[in-house]
Amino acid sequence: GEKGMAMDVPLFAAGSAQDHKGGEGRPQLLGLDEAFAGVDDQNISAMFELMGILGFDYIINSQALWGCYACVADLDIAEMHHPPNAPVVTILRYHWNGTQCTSEDGL
């Protein structure tokens, strides 16, 4: 976990520095694939807090990570769900408000 953080923290700082060159109103979007794999919950929370401090909006895909941490005040979550023997994939939507995760689909 610490090895992943040792790579991600400088990457986030460099990305933030480059984004700030764009001036006010610039989008500051970070896309991560399988973010924080192998990192423990405490350090994942610290990474989400750092992304918030640096002002990043982010799109993250993961098989296990939902991002429901107290330091994340507002988060929309989309889960791809493949029902058994179904020929389709369904998108289930959730919202994290900093304290509670609720279904946007009324499920």
pLDDT in tens, 42-88: 889 998 999 888 888 889 998 888 999 999 999 999 999 999 999 99
1-6 contacts: CB < 8 A, separation 24 or more? 1/38, 1/39, 1/40, 1/43, 2/43, 4/36, 4/37, 4/38, 4/39, 4/43, 5/39, 5/43, 5/46, 5/47
**Nearest Cα residue to 58 out of 35, 41, 80, 40:** 35
Q: Between these two residues, 63 and 22, which has the higher pLDDT value? A: 63
pLDDT recorded at residue 1 = 52
pTM: 0.77
Residue 33 structure tokens = 């694939």
Residue 79 host element (H or E): strand 75-81
In the chain, % helix, strand, coil (3-state, to 5) comes to: 30, 25, 45
Check if the beta carbon of residue 94 is closer than 8 Å to that of residue 104.
yes
